[in-house]
Amino acid sequence: MSVLNWIYIAMVSVAVILSVVRMIKGPDITDRVVALDVFTTITVALFVFFAMIFDRYIYIDVALVYGLLSFIGVLVIARFIERGF
């Protein structure tokens, strides 16, 4: 791997660890939900990065699944918190 990939790995790892720290510390439920949303958004980039590292471009389909469906998972909890259903 080149130097640029190592810099990318370091930045994404720090972002993932920070969002998990917020999920552990977060005093309220809304903090944890926002942390889950941030975590999913970062992880989609990580899926695409793995597809590039392994040189198999068909792996990007998995990233597409998370990009479409993570919205619904957050929406379920948000609608529950505002007494929606």
Partner 1 sequence: MILVSWILIVLMIGLAVLSIELKNLIAAVVAMGAVSLIISLLFLLLQAPDVAMAEASIGAALTMAIYIIGVRETERSEK
Partner 2 sequence: MIYYVGSFLLIAIGLYAVIVKKNLIKILIGLNLIASGVNLLIISVGYIKGGTAPIFSRAGLNAKMMVDPIPQALTLTAIVIDASELALAVAFVVLLYRHYKTLDIKKIRSLKW
Partner 3 sequence: MIRKIVYAIFAAIIVIALVMFFAAYPFGANKMAVGTYYLNHGVAQTGAANIVTSVVLDYRGFDTLGEVSVLFAAAAGVAILFFMLGIGKKERENLTKPNFVVRVGSRIIFPFILLFGTYIFVHGHLTPGGGFQGGSIIASGFLLLYLSYPGTRVNRGGLSIIEGLAGLTFVVLGLWGLFTPTDSFLYNFLPKGLFNTLVSAGILPIIYIAIGFKVASEFAGIVDDMMCEVICRGGEK
CA distances to 16, 27, 28, 77, 78 from 21, in Å: 9, 12, 14, 20, 21
Q: Nearer to partner 3 by C-beta: 27 or 85? A: 85
Q: Nearer to partner 2 by C-beta: 7 or 17? A: 17
The binder of partner 2 chosen from 58, 68, 83, 85 (CB under 8 A): 58
> Residues 6 or more apart from 37 whose CB is under 8 A from it?
70, 74
Contact partner at residue 46 from partner 3, partner 2, partner 1, none, CB < 5 to 8 Å by partner kind: partner 1
* Element holding 59 (H helix, E strand): none
The binder of partner 3 chosen from 47, 48, 62, 66 (CB under 8 A): 62
Residues of this chain that bind partner 2 (CB under 8 A): 54, 56, 58-59
